Homo-oligomer: A and B are copies of this chain.
Amino acid sequence: MTYCIAMRLNEGLVFASDTRTNAGVDQIASFRKMHLLQQPGERSFILLTSGNLATSQNVISRLQIQTEENEEPNLFTVGSLFRAAELIGEQVKSIISHNAQGQQSAGVDFGCHILFGGQIRGEEPRLFHIYPEGNFIEATEDTPYLQIGESKYGKPILDRIIHHDTGLNQAVKCALISFDSTMHSNLSVGMPLDIAVYRNDALELSMERIEEDDDYFNRLRRSWSAGIKLLFDDMP
C-alpha cells in the first residue's frame, strides 16, 4: 500500500508521502511517490500517486515526455490548474483502458489515484484528487486536506488539527504524526518519507526526504508517543 496526504491551506500547500510499495507481503520495495514538475517562476506542480505502480509510473513518464517533446497539450502550456487536472485525468484513463484490454488482465486492478496540486502564475494554488476514472474533486476551505492509500489510521489526528487556517509548519508536524500513527499500525506504509511545502506565490518548490534516522522526526515520534501515554493517564 501507500499513504499520501496533501493539504490546501491559507498560506500554501503541504504534501507528504511514504515510499513503500508491496505486491502481497513478500514483494516489498521502495519507490518515490512524490513527483515534481515545474518551471521556476512560472508554474509548480506536485503529483502524489497510489495504486498500481505500473500505471502511476506510466502516467508520470508520459506527462514528463509531453513537456520535453512539446507535445500539445502539456502541463507547461495548459492555461489553468483545472486544465492540468483534466489532462492528467485523461492520461490516467487512457493508460488504464489500454492495459485492461490485454489478455492477462482478468482480476488485475490497474487503478491509480493521484493527488495533484500546485500553482500557475496569475492563479491561486489549487489541489485535486484525480480518480482512476479520470474525474476529480478539489480541496476547499471546508475540507482542506485529501488522502490516498492507507488513509484511515492517520485520519483522526488530521480531523482534530487541520483547518484551512493552520500554519504550514504546524501542518507538516501534523502530517508527520499522522504518518507515525499509520506506520505504527500498518506495515504496508514505511520510511523514508517525502515532504514538500509550497508557500503561496513562491512558484518554486523542492522536496525533502526524511530518512529512518532523521533527528527531528524521531524526536517527534518519541515525544508524541510519551505525550499520548501521559495524556491518557491524565484522563478522568
Interface on A for B, CB 8 Å cutoff?
152-157, 159-161, 170, 173-174, 177, 181-182, 184-186, 216, 219-220, 223-225, 227-229, 231-232, 234-236
Complex contact B228–A224 (CB within 8 A): no
Indicate which residue in B153, B229, B232 contacts A153 across the interface (CB closer than 8 Å).
B153
Instruction: A159 to B184: give the CA distance in the assembly, Å.
Output: 8
Complex contact A161–B232 (CB within 8 A): yes
- Of all chain B residues, the one with the shortest Cβ separation from A155 is B185
The smallest beta-carbon distance between A53 and chain B, in angstroms, is: 23
Q: Which residues of B contact A159 (CB under 8 A)?
A: 184-185
Instruction: A154 to B157: give the CA distance in the assembly, Å.
Output: 11
Instruction: A124 to B24: give the CA distance in the assembly, Å.
Output: 37
The answer to whether A232 and B181 touch (CB under 8 A), given A153-B153, A155-B153, is no
Complex contact A220–B232 (CB within 8 A): no
Instruction: A215 to B136: give the CA distance in the assembly, Å.
Output: 43
Give how many copies assemble into the complex.
2
Complex contact A235–B229 (CB within 8 A): no
Instruction: A159 to B228: give the CA distance in the assembly, Å.
Output: 11
Complex contact A156–B174 (CB within 8 A): no
Q: Which residues of B contact A229 (CB under 8 A)?
A: 160-161
Instruction: A159 to B185: give the CA distance in the assembly, Å.
Output: 7
Complex contact B173–A185 (CB within 8 A): no
The smallest beta-carbon distance between A200 and chain B, in angstroms, is: 24
The answer to whether A220 and B236 touch (CB under 8 A), given A155-B153, A185-B155, A185-B156, is yes
The smallest beta-carbon distance between A180 and chain B, in angstroms, is: 9
- Of all chain B residues, the one with the shortest Cβ separation from A174 is B232
Indicate which residue in B216, B220, B228 contacts A160 across the interface (CB closer than 8 Å).
B228
12 A-B pairs in the complex with CB atoms less than 8 angstroms apart: A160-B228, A160-B229, A161-B232, A170-B232, A173-B232, A173-B235, A177-B232, A177-B235, A220-B235, A223-B235, A227-B231, A231-B231
Instruction: A152 to B182: give the CA distance in the assembly, Å.
Output: 9
Closest 4 CB pairs of A and B: A152-B152, A156-B181, A227-B231, A155-B185
The answer to whether A156 and B155 touch (CB under 8 A), given A173-B235, A220-B235, is no
